Amino acid sequence: MSEPQQQQRRRRRPAVSCTLCRKRKIKCNLETPCSNCVRSRNHACEYEYPPVLPHRPQRSDYDETSSSTTSAAALNPDMESMRTRITYLENQLKHALNVSRQNASPAPSIAAVPISSIERAESVESRIGGVFYIHHGNPALDQSPNMHRTITHKKRMYGQSHWMTLSVSLLKDIVHMIDGQVRDPDGKRFAEKVFVGMQRCKQIARVIKAQREPPWPCPPTSDLPPKQIADDLVDCYLRTHETVYRILHVPSFRRSYDALWMMGTESESTFLVQLKLVLAIGAASYNDTFTLRPSAMRWVHEAETWLANPHPKHRLDIQYIQIYCLQLLAREAAAVGEDMVFLSTGTLLRSSMFLGLHRDPSHLQARTVFANEMHRRLWSTILEICLQTSLYSGCPPLICMDDFDTQPPGNFDDDQLEIEDADPRPDTYLTQASVSKALRKTFPARLAVIRFLNNFASSGTYEETLRLDSDYRISYKDLRSTLRAFDPVNGNLPSDFQIRAVDTIMNRYLCALHTPFFMPSLKDTKYTYSRKTVFDTALKMWYANFPEESLGGSPSEHGKAGERDDFQRVVTCGHGFLRSATMQSVLIIAVEMRTQLQEDDSLGPTPLRRDLFAILEGAKAWSLWCMEAGETNVKGHVFMCIMLAYTRGLAKRLGKVEIAKKLVEAVEVAEECGMALLEKMLKQDMTTQEPVATTDFPMHVTQGLLSGWETIIPGSLNDPYGFDTMNWAFDEADLQTRWLL
């Protein structure tokens, strides 16, 4: 054999085994992968020279072609090497495909796991507000894959009604600009300073919260503020929240409250818990700066400890339901876990059903007008709290129309309920229950909106949105007609607080219904109606909070101490539903203004709508009010400053780089202002241990802490409602044990 033929033979000779088999010195079957690698789960089955299976021609062809093949191979060594290389690459590709099939998990069926594409925000965004995941619609449920359904942030999932779903979707470009400054060598040091300032503000906020937080558990005490302050706090509650959410029977509560201050009178522990919640809610509208916030937080913690009894059966009665309703409103007012109120709402709903409040009194044993009307009033309030917390948290509602048949409350004043066989007043006569009754009639339309938005299986189509919009507007129109039809000759007109609260509530649901189509409407004229509806309702919600803005003023001009009304104080000092509505209105107005500026194609300077720009300036001032009232989260003020700076940059036609620098500068100024307010708060909290002096009352604890209905009204344990045997005679000795509503 010649030397070239020997070299070609060595070149063509395959490896006797794969790498693994050769190292272990075991027999290899020369497959890809080989049998030994399959058994040992070795996915890297490789050969130094790939095994080439020899061509086995038919016997008839062998004699004719053997000599020609040998000569061709000898004459074309390069072609044979190329053939070997191609075979090797084919084997490697086959091996890679086999490995991918082995590692891939079985594909789930559409029916078993809904398809949802997840869009992750920019990774740098976690430095500002964390990482957000936007979940799109599921085509298997007839949902549009381009529609944002839910958003996940910090292990929490928010539905379409939550304000964060809109903000993350619409403000990504602004966040990208700010984060881009970190990657820019020229602005990196400046941007890093901004992030350090944000962390500093968070650290101070944590210290302030720790100082305000009372110890847990926090057993109820008999301490109360001085009578003059307590009187003002009770009046604040009765003229604000109680006019919309009917919970108490005011004459009975007044009698028990007045008896509390009599010399030598022992105070009932359960009534003290109820009273302190009333004081906590009233403290949010007591003054502009919420000076009683530490006391309000302690009162809420005391009530939470009272409710946390693991054996609530002995105290499960009407007064327990009243305390629970007050507790949820007080948590929002004093910012004690206000974003988690939705969780506690489930216990309230089930407790009230356990007592039969979901069944209309006409289906129960005969009772007095007082018992029936308190039954209906409380159930309407429970439904309202459940629905509002569902919208605020972006979670599905806990109830449907088939779960209850309790009718709306009658048109009674509170003093009428103490008269046997009293008849309701005409619908044109304003009573203490008229607003609650009118709002309850809109419950079916609002419930349909929340179920449509937050139920994961909802189709979310635009056609269904328009149908719900039509039904909702009919219900809203009936509500407006009812509130406008009251005769001022026979009765008073609704208060300013009632009108603005109801208007904000109704517009918040209508805005939420069209919010999912607000972002698509900025690019697609098909959804122009939704864009107009969202923008109009946002303006109405803002002007409901600051009506002076419609006259061309600004909050900075009307925000002096002592000049804010009850509604502005509730929105500024408190948290929860009403405040989130204000935040979302500002966001929508800012985005609409940004879009109008971007759509302008004129050659000259872009005309700026002064009314919208005044709202952004007012929102910036309002965010400072919130911090002056004890808000420890500086992000709200930072957000307002960012939107204002971004709008100004667009109006001046600045480039992205210049706008990004302006945004970072605005954040730095906002942080400096916020840090100064936080440090001031920290010093005040360190020097002020007790916000107000307290009065200590002797506390009387009844057997079982009002176990059963007979502590509120005469009855027996066998007849827990006992309303049919109620004795309506009053005397001062009974007030502490019988009238604790």
Q: Check whether 701 has a pLDDT greater than 60.
A: no
Give per-residue pLDDT as tens, 128-181.
566 666 766 666 666 666 666 667 767 777 777 777 777 766 667 777 777 666
Q: What is the dihedral of CA 347, 712, 709, 719, to 10 degrees?
A: -150
Q: Packing angle between helix 577-599 and helix 528-545, nearest 10 degrees?
A: 130
* Residue where the block lists tokens 């009251």: 486
From CA 337, how far away is CA 344, in angstroms rounded?
10
Largest Cα–Cα separation, the chain: 130
Q: What does the mean pLDDT of the chain come to?
A: 77
From CA 723, how far away is CA 406, in angstroms rounded?
17
The pLDDT confidence band at residue 54, using thresholds 50, 70 and 90, is very low
Give per-residue pLDDT as tens, 269-281.
889 999 999 999 9
Relative to beta strand 267-268, strand 699-700 is parallel
Which residues neighbour 541 within 8 Å (Cβ) at sequence distance 6 or greater?
504, 507, 508, 511, 581, 582, 584, 585
Q: Which residue has the higher pLDDT, 260 or 52?
A: 260
Q: Check whether 714 has a pLDDT greater than 80.
A: no
CB atoms within 10 A of CB 238: 18
The pLDDT confidence band at residue 605, using thresholds 50, 70 and 90, is low
Range with the largest mean pLDDT of 23-27, 146-150, 296-300, 482-486:
296-300
Q: Could you tell me if 166 and 518 are in contact, meaning their C-beta atoms sit under 8 angstroms apart?
A: yes
Q: What is the pTM of this model?
A: 0.75
Q: Could you tell me if 175 and 125 are in contact, meaning their C-beta atoms sit under 8 angstroms apart?
A: yes
> Which residues make beta-bridge pairs with 150?
135
From CA 235, how far away is CA 659, in angstroms rounded?
49
Instruction: Tell me how many helices (H) and strands (E) the chain has.
Output: 29, 8
For the record, the structure tokens of 114 come out as 């809904």
- For residue 734, the model assigns a pLDDT of 35
From CA 463, how far away is CA 440, in angstroms rounded?
26
Percent of the chain with pLDDT over 70: 70
Q: Could you tell me if 576 and 332 are in contact, meaning their C-beta atoms sit under 8 angstroms apart?
A: yes
From CA 608, how far away is CA 372, in angstroms rounded?
57
Give per-residue pLDDT as tens, 720-739.
333 333 333 333 333 233 22
E strands in 101-205: 118-120, 132-136, 148-153, 156-158
Q: Check whether 552 has a pLDDT greater than 80.
A: no
Range with the largest mean pLDDT of 47-61, 237-251, 361-375, 667-681:
237-251
Relative to beta strand 223-224, strand 695-696 is antiparallel
Query: What is the b/e burial string over 645-664, where b = at least 16 CB atoms within 10 angstroms of the residue's CB?
Result: bbbbbbbeeeeeeebbbbbb
How do the domains of the chain map onto residue ranges? 1-57+79-95, 114-158
Cα of 558 vs its chain's centroid, Å? 30
Q: Which 3 state secondary structure label does DSSP give 134?
A: strand
From CA 178, how far away is CA 668, in angstroms rounded?
12
Q: Could you tell me if 713 and 723 are in contact, meaning their C-beta atoms sit under 8 angstroms apart?
A: yes
3-state SS of 281-340 is HHHCCCCCCCCCHHHHHHHHHHHHHHHCCCCHHHHCCHHHHHHHHHHHHHHHHHCCCHHH
Give per-residue pLDDT as tens, 568-589.
999 999 988 999 899 889 989 9
- The candidate with the shortest Cα–Cα distance to 223, out of 172, 272, 178, is 272
Q: Packing angle between helix 610-628 and helix 656-687, nearest 10 degrees?
A: 30
Q: Could you tell me if 654 and 188 are in contact, meaning their C-beta atoms sit under 8 angstroms apart?
A: no
Give per-residue pLDDT as tens, 422-460.
899 998 899 999 999 999 999 999 999 999 988 877 777
For the record, the structure tokens of 61 come out as 């062809």
- Please list the alpha-helical segments (H only) found in 104-187: 163-170, 172-183
Q: Check whether 719 has a pLDDT greater than 50.
A: no
Q: Could you tell me if 303 and 273 are in contact, meaning their C-beta atoms sit under 8 angstroms apart?
A: yes
Q: Report phi then psi at 304, rounded to 5.
A: -65, -40
